Structure formats: C-alpha cells, structure tokens
Structure 1
Amino acid sequence: MCILFIANKLRDDYPLIIAANRDEFYARPTAPSSFWKSHPHLLAGQDLEANGTWMGVTRNGNIAALTNVRDPHNINKNAVSRGELVANWLKQDPADIEGVAQAQYLATLEKTRHQYNGYNLLFGDTKGLRVYNNVNNSTHAIDTGVYGLSNADIVTAWPKVTQGVTALNDYVANKSTIDKEDLFDILRHDNKADDALLPDTGIGYEWEKALSSIFIQTEKYGTRTSTLLLVDKNNTLTWKERRFSDRGETLETRAFSFSI
C-alpha cells in the first residue's frame, strides 16, 4: 500500500471514508479481497508471496492498512515482512478491538520496530484510528479531518498527498451525496509533481517523477488496486476493491457490505 486518504467525522451520512491505492510490482502474486478461510471474520486481499496483506477490515469494524517508508539506503533484506502487521491486528479475537487491545498492540509495535523495514501502520477500529511509524517510533491519532499518508510519515506533505487531501476535503465538504465512483476518480489522478516539488528519497530523478502521482503506472511497477472503505451513519461498512492490469485497465471490482 503506497497511499491512503482518510476523511474522519466530517459528514453525518459517512463519518468514516478511507480511499487507498496499493502500488506493487506487477509480478508479485496477489489474491483479491475476500473473507479468509482461516479467519472468516477478516476481509482483505492477500500477498501470496509473504502471506500478509496491505489493508483489511473485520466484521466487527477492526481496520488496518500499511504504507512502506521509502528509504533505499536503510533496507534490511532479512527483515520480517511488513504485511504481517496488518494481518496480525485483524486476526485477533473479534471481541478484542477496544482501547486496551490497541494499546497492547502499539506496545508490541514499539518493541519489535527494528525487525521491520520502515513502515506506517494505520490501525484501530471504526471508533478510533491511529498511525504508528516505526522509523520515528511515533504515534499520530486520527482525529476529525482529512488525512493523507504515503511513503514518509504522516506529517510530511508530499505533492501527491497534498493533492489527494485537498481533493477529498473539497469533495466531502461540498457534495450532497457520496458517489463511490467519484472517490475512485480521486485515486486515479496520474499527474506528476513539478520537478521543484519532488521529494529526494534517494531513488533518482526518474523514479521520483514516476512515483510522484497518486495513480502510478510504469513498465514493471504500479497501482495494482484501489480500495474504498466507508462506514455510514447506520454503522454499515462498505468495501470496494478495484484491480488494475499493468496497463492501468480495470480488471475487476469487488464489493462487500455488512453491519458492524
């Protein structure tokens, strides 16, 4: 998962909206969203190479999503797969989603942070979310507002993060109803950042430019899926996942809806 946007507690009809893109090598084997046979309360796609996931939810409203921190000079090839962090939070006993469980999991993240390459983990439930960054060993609560998270910490305003936050904020503030296709459109923005605004993360100009858009498409790497997670005023959760080919064509859209 490389970018996600969150609109929290800004609308009465949809108090929680998350829109996210997963960017990955096209060759990496992946299963689309489904309820896992081993954990039937858990809805997520699955990375078939490391058996974790990048974003998921449970029937009782537990939520987690991951973005990697881009730092090519500090990569441990023997590090534990970061996708297990999402899966481990979601696999917990469905009854254990309140504050005590969140505090315990945060303590585990802090204790094990050096076992993983850099990451941001959004986790919690529909009542409360937080982001943990293992590089800074910092935690950021998701309060009322619109947030964006990419491959730096949550307070770093990369151009595509600012673009998505602005677009989502304008949308939730001005539209009388929420249209999921409009949210997917925000995730399809493919304009590149101006050279003067590009971050310098050590991957070179060509890659910085290619990765500077919300929707990414290169020869071997790009946006594989877009995912929407919405919770309405009746506590009904809607999950929609759209998968793309290496040419950016829509392959499939999967939709799930259930009461929390």
Structure 2
Amino acid sequence: MCLIVAAWRAHPGYPLIVAANRDEHFPRPTAPAHWWPDTPEVFAGRDLVARGTWLGVTRCGRFAALTNYRDPRLRRADAPSRGLLVRECLESHRPADEALHGIAARSPEYAPFNLLAADANGFGIHESATATTRMLEPGIHALSNHLLGTPWPKLRQAKTRFEAALQAPEHEDDFLRLLRDDTPAADADLPETGVGMEWERLLSSVFVRAPGYGTRSSTLLRMRADDTVDFIEWSWDAAGQPAGEVRERFALA
C-alpha cells in the first residue's frame, strides 16, 4: 500500500474503517481480493510473485496492511518481499501487539516498511525505519510512505476528506472519491524523499498516475459493531480506468 487512512474506534457503529490505495508497477502479476485456498481464513488480494499481500482481513476480524518507506538510499534488492509480513500477521494467532513485536525483531532483514495490525483488542504499528512498535489510541490515523502521521499534502487532504466521510460511513462513494483524487501537490509543498522532483510530483496525489506505475487498487474495509465486515476492492488499469471490482460481506467468526 501507499496510502492508508484508518478510523480505529472513532465511530460508535464501526470499530474499524480503512480506506487505502495500493500503488505498484502494472506488469507485476496480482490477484484481486479473494478467500485464499491455502489459508481459508484470509481474505486479501495477492502478489503472485512472492505470494504475500499488501492488505487483508481474516474471518475472526484480524486486519493487517503495509506501506513501503520511501528512501532510495535504503533499497535492498536482496531482501525478501515485505508482503510476506502482512501474510504472517494475518495468519498469526497471537494478539496484534505480540505479532508486531515478533515481526519487529526481524525487520532489519527487510527493506524499510510500516506495518499496521489490528484485532478486537488493539490497533498498532511497527515502523522499521525507527525500530518503533506501539499501539495506537482511538482516532483517525493516516499513513503513506514515511512515518505515521507525516504531514505530506496528500495525507492531510485524505485525512480531512476521510473525517467528512466518517459522518455517514454507510455511503461508500465519499470514500471512493477521496481515494480517486489525482490532484498533485504544489511544488512548494512536495516532500524531498530522494526520488527527484518529477517523481515527487507524480507520487504527491492520493491516486497516482505515472508511466508504468500507479494506483492499481483501492480498498474500503468497514468492520461493523454487529460483527459484520464489508470489504470492497476497486481495481484500476494503467490509464486509471476501472478494471474490476470485488465485494464481500461476511460475519465474524
């Protein structure tokens, strides 16, 4: 993932709501969200190269998602896929905080990342760039390719629109509009992450359009207080046009 906004215990009818965009190279083979045949309790999209995922949920209500930490100086071509960490977290039967701490002990083996994990009792994050693991307070949390809450323009914009959408969370169109916003930030507001000005511009919008790379899917996950889960995944082609849609509603085990 490259942008995640999550409301943790911030709405009485929805313990967790997540709106997220996955940015990736378009040639990389990917399966849309589905119940995994080899791990039947997991519902997630799947990277068909390394067999991991970027975001998923389980029948018992465990959630996990990951963003890369953008710093070209820290790239590691020999590192294992970070999507395997999301898979590990979803398949774990330990509490979310214990699962995060277990992964944190091995995070130096991977290129930098941020891993979010939640279960019925807690919502937490491991930021490998700072070797920090912590549980989060109820509220709205926004994450992109830096540390949690870093005030990049697209994060500020997405969080503001997410807060507005949270007033009527049953209306999915408000969340979809925020995830589809491809307005770039002004040059004066661009972060400096080491990728050059042209790419800073291309990556500065919530919905990314770039040569051979961009937002390939958008996800809306809503866990309800009545123990039902709504999962919607919209897929996009290289031109940013609709390429598929998955909808799943299930009761928590």
Q: Deviations over 1:139-169 (max 9, x none)?
A: 2423221111000010311110111111111
Compute the displacement of 1:170 (Å): 2.3
Tell me by how many angstroms 1:97 deviates. 4.6
C-alpha distance in 2 between matches for 1:19 and 1:83: 18
Deviations 1:204-252 (A, max 9, x none): 0000000000000112000000011101120111111000010111111
SS in structure 2 opposite 1:9? strand
Aligned-partner Cα distance in 1 for 2:97–2:190: 36
State the alpha-carbon separation in 2 of the partners of residues 165 and 82 from structure 1. Answer: 25
Matches within 5 A, 1:1-260: 1-92=1-92, 96-98=93-95, 102-173=96-167, 175=168, 178-260=170-252
Once residues 104 and 6 of structure 1 are traced to their aligned partners in structure 2, the CA distance between those partners, rounded to angstroms, is 21
Please give the secondary structure, in 2, of the residue aligned with 1:223: strand
Quick check: 1:97–1:125 contact (8 Å CA) kept in 2? no
SS in structure 2 opposite 1:40?
A: coil
Partners of 1:32 and 1:171 lie apart in 2 by: 25
TM-score, normalised via structure 1 length: 0.93
Query: CA separation in 1, counterparts of 2:79 and 2:222?
Result: 33
3-state SS, counterpart of residue 105 of structure 2 = helix
Identity %: 38
Unaligned runs of 5+ in 1: none
Letter matched to residue 62 of structure 1 = R
Amino acid at match of 1:133: E
- 1:7 touches 1:16 (CA, 8 Å); kept in 2? yes
Q: Matched residue pairs, number?
A: 252
**Equivalent residues of 1:80, 1:116 under 8 A apart:** yes
Q: Secondary structure at the match of 1:49?
A: coil
Instruction: Summarize deviations over 1:76-125 as a string: whole Å, max 9, x none.
Output: 11111100000011123xxx253xxx343233222211100010000121
Q: Any conservation in 2 of the 1:4–1:18 contact (CA below 8 Å)?
A: yes
- Per the normalisation by structure 2, the TM-score is 0.96
- Could you tell me whether the CA contact under 8 Å between 1:195 and 1:209 is conserved in 2? yes
The CA distance in 2 between the partners of 1:110 and 1:121, in whole Å, is 9
Alpha-carbon RMSD? 1.3
